[in-house]
């Protein structure tokens, strides 16, 4: 059986299901033995997020814990590399792996992952593995503009550039990212995000309890709410469109207390991935209210494809990738236009439904994985 180590930013059982999760499942279906490496952790994580610490500790096991068919492991280290004073150098990055307890390289060997067919890196903090794991192909999946995150330090950008140079294949999720990374390497492969149709297209949907007995039109957002989320835009929509209820689903890391005064904004928090299609199906329009910035210009939003998979119209701000993707979404260039498009999208809900579904069907994770296989099978 072929083997692959996937070095990722999240746990395999995280509240979000992103590209790496879908590719791990696809590799498993292709009879790969898949090891999913979660980020390194220690007590610093406990101080920030006790639940996350407990999750990581729960998969710091020998032999590796299985989630479905995927082996998962979270290395514990005496030192964490990151955008912290004195902990932000390449040396600390190396030590964060060298000083794992039990030693990560020994643990990989004991579980027969010291030699693999593919070393797949999304999380650049696993760069030291390149020198210590034997692999046939090194693949880097560049899914974000690292330079623009407030958790990024200078050495991370340097490490990413080294990974790009050394990789056999570099997959990049947005056109804007390709333009940025071409200064490091020319032969980058465009591989945008996709959608898992099996989760979203169903014979039967169940109306969420929050929607029952509410005949008003419903506008939905699903995803993380962080500093790239345009809070002012959402407030503007709620003020201008008082007859529409706005539902925000997902965890938030920014202060949302200013939304409490709005009767037509509902914060629903985290929802299970399998519940999300029910909320989408019974909504009237969906939104992607991201601030336009150097960070969001390099994002290919998974939610675009997920929204459209149930036929829902999408209204988005005009960050660059939305201009590159030839989608049926409504692109608002300013706050007023964004509000106007919400009304138009609701009006055209049934008219655009089939077109949206067809767009989603042409952008599945299965289609993306077929492209990955072609590049892996070369030479």
According to the model, what pLDDT value does residue 147 have? 77
Residues 60 and 90 in one domain: yes
Write out pLDDT tens, residues 169-228: 999 999 999 999 999 999 999 999 999 999 999 999 999 999 999 999 999 999 999 989
Tokens of 64: 């590796």
Q: Are strands 244-249 and 217-222 parallel, antiparallel or unpaired?
A: parallel
Question: Pseudo-torsion of CA 93, 94, 99, 104, nearest 10°?
Answer: 100
Return the CATH number at 348: 3.40.50.2000
Residues 126 and 208 in one domain: no
- Cβ 99 vs Cβ 77: under 8 Å: yes
The candidate with the shortest Cα–Cα distance to 38, out of 64, 3, 63, is 64
Residues 74 and 212 in one domain: no
According to the model, what pLDDT value does residue 324 have? 87
According to the model, what pLDDT value does residue 379 have? 61
Residues of the chain with pLDDT under 50: none
Return the CATH number at 189: 3.40.50.11010
Residues 227 and 321 in one domain: yes
Residues 186 and 204 in one domain: no
Residues 153 and 226 in one domain: no
Residues 218 and 334 in one domain: yes
Residues 206 and 180 in one domain: no
Model-wide pTM > 0.85: yes
Residues 8 and 150 in one domain: yes
According to the model, what pLDDT value does residue 81 have? 95
Instruction: Give the domain range for residue 336.
Output: 199-361
Residues 213 and 322 in one domain: yes
- How many domains does the chain contain in total? 2
Write out pLDDT tens, residues 62-113: 899 999 999 999 999 999 999 888 999 999 999 999 999 999 999 999 999 9
């Amino acid at each position: 059986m072929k083997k692959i180590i996937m070095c990722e930013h999240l746990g395999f059982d995280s509240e979000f299901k992103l590209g790496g999760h879908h590719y791990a499942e696809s590799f498993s279906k292709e009879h790969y033995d898949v090891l999913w490496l979660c980020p390194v952790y220690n007590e610093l994580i406990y101080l920030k997020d006790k639940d996350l610490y407990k999750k990581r500790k729960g998969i710091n096991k020998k032999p590796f814990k299985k989630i479905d068919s995927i082996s998962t492991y979270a290395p514990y280290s005496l030192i964490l590399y990151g955008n912290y004073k004195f902990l932000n150098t390449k040396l600390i990055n190396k030590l964060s792996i060298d000083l794992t307890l039990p030693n990560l390289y020994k643990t990989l060997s004991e579980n027969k992952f010291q030699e693999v067919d593919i070393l797949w890196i999304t999380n650049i903090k696993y760069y030291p593995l390149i020198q210590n794991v034997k692999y046939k192909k090194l693949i880097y999946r560049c899914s974000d503009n690292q330079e623009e995150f407030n958790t990024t330090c200078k050495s991370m950008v340097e490490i990413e550039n080294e990974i790009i140079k050394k990789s056999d294949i570099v997959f990049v999720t947005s056109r804007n990212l390709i333009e940025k990374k071409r200064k490091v390497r020319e032969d980058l492969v465009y591989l945008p995000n996709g959608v898992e149709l099996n989760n979203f297209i169903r014979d039967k949907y169940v109306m969420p309890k929050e929607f029952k007995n509410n005949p008003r039109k419903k506008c939905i957002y699903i995803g993380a709410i962080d500093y790239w989320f345009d809070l002012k835009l959402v407030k503007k929509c709620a003020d201008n469109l008082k007859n529409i209820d706005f539902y925000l689903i997902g965890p938030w890391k920014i202060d949302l207390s200013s939304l409490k005064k709005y009767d037509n904004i509902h914060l629903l928090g985290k929802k299970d991935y399998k519940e999300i299609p029910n909320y989408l199906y019974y909504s009237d329009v969906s939104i992607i209210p991201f601030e336009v910035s150097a960070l969001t210009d390099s994002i290919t939003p998974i939610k675009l494809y997920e929204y459209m998979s149930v036929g829902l119209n999408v209204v988005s701000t005009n960050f660059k990738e939305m201009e590159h993707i030839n989608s049926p979404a409504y692109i608002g260039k300013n706050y007023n236009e964004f509000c106007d498009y919400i009304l138009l999208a609701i009006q055209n809900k049934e008219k655009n439904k089939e077109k949206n579904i067809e767009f989603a069907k042409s952008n599945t994770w299965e289609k993306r994985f077929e492209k990955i296989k072609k590049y892996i099978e070369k030479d």
